[in-house]
Amino acid sequence: MSVQNWTYILVGVTFALYIGIAIWSRAGSTREFYVAGGGVSPLANGMATAADWMSAASFISMAGIISFAGYDGAVYLMGWTGGYVLLALLLAPYLRKFGKFTVPDFIGDRYYSKTARIVAVFCALIVSFTYVAGQMRGVGIVFSRFLEVDINTGVILGMLIVLFYAVLGGMKGITYTQVAQYCVLIFAFMVPAIFISLQMTGNPVPQLGFGSQLADGSGTYLLDKLDGLSTELGFAEYTQGSKSLIDVFAITLALMVGTAGLPHVIVRFFTVKNVKDARKSAGIALLLIVILYTTAPAVSVFARTNLIETVSNKEYANVPEWFKKWETTGLIVFDDKNNDGLIQYVANKDQNELTVDNDIMVLANPEIAKLPNWVIALVAAGGLAAALSTAAGLLLVISSSVSHDLIKKIINPKISEKGELIAARLSAVGAVCVAGYFGINPPGFVAAVVALAFGLAAASFFPAIILGIFYKKMNKEGAIAGMVVGIVSMLFYMMKYKLGWFDEVLPDKSEWWFGISPEGFGSIAMILNFVVSITIMKFTPEPPKNVQAMVEKIRIPSGATKATGH
């Protein structure tokens, strides 16, 4: 059976499963719509959190970046895994004890201010829309290649599926759909990795395979071979880094603290019964996330090695079928500059004739390795599961920010629960339409877009949340000023150095401030946020006593009162 037919079957079955779950678990109240009724088990919430966390950037793009960046791509592994640990240990239990539905809800109440709530809603929308743009592009890429439709049509199809189960089921529907999506995405990521590891090294464990000797009996280690192939083509050794130390540190830090400020991940800890279950589900999610994150470096090495051996200096007339099919998507381009019919894939830009989009590496890897058609289709289903699971979580954040934090808390406090539920669903419809636009017109490849979202979260939310939990004297004036300065400075840097909005030509790397890339500038914007917040706080009134008492209360462990007798 052809790859396309297998894809129709596997994607059709998984989509039917998602829709069935959405119908079964449709939300009947705002509590079910926002936090799944607050009764999700730690195991189910851990699986849902893992699926929410492992987006198209993790599934499709992260290994693609590492394939081309080599050692430098490790910043994504360090930043995203380290950030999840930071979130699980430092923030999640306290936010869960505070008991609010959304991050803007926490900021609005903690900083006793409608203005703070509005600023937080604005930041949540900016972060979520930037993040969801990457997911919708991932959906478009999968559809365009495996169902042989153009990327724009693929994005629209993805929008309709997400719209159905996000609008109907709310957080309740999304949670149980994400449990299924985790199973699909992890199976889809691991099966081809195991196949290719066995094929190339004879080792069935990919994490060990990419550090093993080749199965051809040459005694050569796989990484040594890839280093040799890379240097022959003029690229740097795969295992050597080229990024400056300050940029590596900045990107890693931005990804870490950005994780801790991501509203769609934080809200998952409100769906369980109590703080204890929040901690349990955080630990379970971390274990489930580690499976993919420790496999990604191996997948990137397998993909890069196979790509070079398959296409470099080969006759274009005899390229494999996978190459021709990916060419139709525009994500791999051959430009025969010297008209000799050979594919010159080299580091020299003037001589290089092959352009490969990072985002195709994981998806094309099974085809390059000549794996069975069902495995190739399985990867497509996994990529869609990863993108749709995160997109749904983000859309819920957007709709709840509008309906709960903006309409109920500020515009119309007397709105009925039914009216609020209708507003939430309408907000989700509007959010899907905007997300679709960004998916069709994204500012870069998937992981780059997602990295910018982390930078925006680091610049805006992280200082306000940390200071809100651990510094009872932090007041509304300081928090508001800090969030505004943080988000504006990050947006400016992103627009100037990533999108080129203020220049006729996109500025060169040599013009970056302190040598820090747009993906890492969230660290600088976060520091600015902290400095401004604390400085303004020193010259403005302290928070009311009841707010300070509330902050102290959420830091007291559950059961401490009984244990101490106070």
**Could you tell me the pLDDT band of residue 28, with boundaries at 50, 70 and 90?**
low
* Helical packing angle, 42-53 and 275-311, nearest 10°: 40
Better-scored residue on pLDDT, 414 or 192: 192
pLDDT band at 503 (very low <50, low <70, confident <90, very high): confident
Burial of 206 (0-12, 13-18, 19+ CB in 10 A): buried
Q: What is the dihedral of CA 11, 14, 20, 23, to 10 degrees?
A: -80
443 band by pLDDT with thresholds 50, 70 and 90: low
Confidence class of residue 169 from pLDDT cuts 50, 70 and 90? Answer: low
Distance CA 361, CA 419 (A): 46
Per residue, what are the HEC states of 172-223? HHHHHHHHHHHHHHHHHHHHHHHHHHHHHHCCCCHHHHCCCECCCCCCCEHH
Report the alpha-carbon distance of residue 450 to residue 458 in Å, rounded.
12
pLDDT over threshold 60, residue 417: yes
pTM of this structure: 0.83
pLDDT given for residue 557 in this prediction = 58
User: What's the pLDDT tens digit per position in 224-278?
Assistant: 998 888 888 888 888 887 788 898 899 899 888 887 777 777 777 777 887 788 7
330 — pLDDT class (breaks 50, 70, 90): confident
- Beta-carbon contacts of 324 under 8 Å, excluding residues fewer than 6 positions away, are none
Interstrand relation of 332-334 and 354-356 (parallel, antiparallel or unpaired): antiparallel
pLDDT band at 481 (very low <50, low <70, confident <90, very high): very high
C-alpha 53/C-alpha 57 separation (Å) is 10
> Does pLDDT of 488 surpass 90?
yes
Q: Angle at which helices 373-400 and 114-146 pack, to 10 degrees?
A: 160
Burial grade of 508 (CB within 10 A; 0-12, 13-18, 19 or more): exposed
pLDDT exceeds 90 at position 524? yes
Please say whether the beta carbons of 431 and 133 come within 8 A.
no
Does the pLDDT value for residue 501 go beyond 60? yes
Confidence of residue 81 (pLDDT cuts 50, 70, 90): confident
CB 561 within 8 Å of CB 498: no
Mean pLDDT of 370-383: 88
Task: Say which residue, 208 or 54, is predicted with more confidence.
Answer: 208
Position 464 scores a pLDDT of 93
Cα distance between residue 541 and residue 547, in whole Å? 13
Q: Per-residue pLDDT for 446 more than 60?
A: no
Neighbours of 147 (CB within 10 A): 16
Is 542 strand, coil or helix? Answer: coil
The structure tokens listed for 357 are 């989009």
Interatomic CA distance for residues 237 and 231, integer angstroms: 6
**Per-residue pLDDT reduced to its tens digit, 270-285:** 778 877 887 888 889 8
Tell me the per-residue pLDDT of 101-119, one tens digit each, with 9 for 90 and over: 677 888 988 999 899 999 9
Share of the chain above pLDDT 70, in %: 92
pLDDT surpasses 60 at 191: yes
User: Mean pLDDT over all residues of the chain?
Assistant: 83
Minimal CA–CA distance to 487: which of 47, 205, 124? Answer: 124
66-79 per-position pLDDT tens digit: 888 888 888 888 88
Quote the CA–CA distance of 459 and 463 in Å, as a whole number: 8
- Give the pLDDT score at 37: 62
Q: Is the pLDDT of residue 566 over 70?
A: no
* Of the candidate ranges 69-83, 185-199, 256-270, 336-350, the one whose mean pLDDT is the lowest: 256-270
- Which DSSP string do the residues of 292-336 spell out, in sequence order? HHHHHHHHHHHHHHHHHHHHTT-BGGG--HHHHHHHTTTSEEE--
- The contacts of residue 456 (CB under 8 Å, 6+ apart) are 123, 126, 127, 130, 258, 487, 490, 491, 494, 522
- Sequence letter at residue 175: T
Spatial separation of the C-alpha atoms in residues 459 and 528, rounded to whole Å: 8
Please list, in sequence order, all residues whose beta carbon lies within 8 angstroms of the beta carbon of residue 438, skipping any fewer than 6 positions away: 129, 130, 132, 133, 136
pLDDT at 499 over 80: no
Please tell me the distance from the alpha carbon of residue 125 to that of residue 55, in angstroms, as a whole number: 18
Give yes or no for residue 55 having a pLDDT over 80.
no
Q: Which amino acid is at 21?
A: I
pLDDT bracket for residue 538 (50, 70, 90): very high
* DSSP at 356: E
**Residue 392 banded pLDDT, cuts 50, 70, 90:** confident
Give me the pLDDT at residue 473, please. Answer: 92
**CB-count exposure of residue 428 (10 Å: 0-12, 13-18, 19+):** buried
pLDDT band at 478; cut points 50, 70, 90: very high
Scanning 329-475, the segments in alpha helix (DSSP H) are: 361-368, 373-400, 417-440, 446-470
Q: Has residue 141 got a pLDDT over 80?
A: no
Tokens 């990529």 belong to residue: 383
pLDDT on residue 152: 79
From residue 352, alpha-carbon distances to 7, 72, 307, 324, 337 in Å are 33, 22, 15, 19, 8
| Predicted pLDDT at 543 | 94
> Could you read off the pLDDT of 393-411 as tens digits, one per residue?
777 778 878 887 888 888 8
> pLDDT-based confidence at 449, cuts 50/70/90?
low
Q: Determine which of 142-146, 368-372, 527-531 has the lowest per-residue pLDDT on average.
A: 142-146
Rounded distance between C-alpha atoms, residue 304 and residue 66, angstroms: 9
Which residue segments constitute the domains of the chain, with CATH numbers given?
3-307+357-448 (1.20.1730.10)
Cα–Cα distance, 212 to 233 (Å, whole number): 23
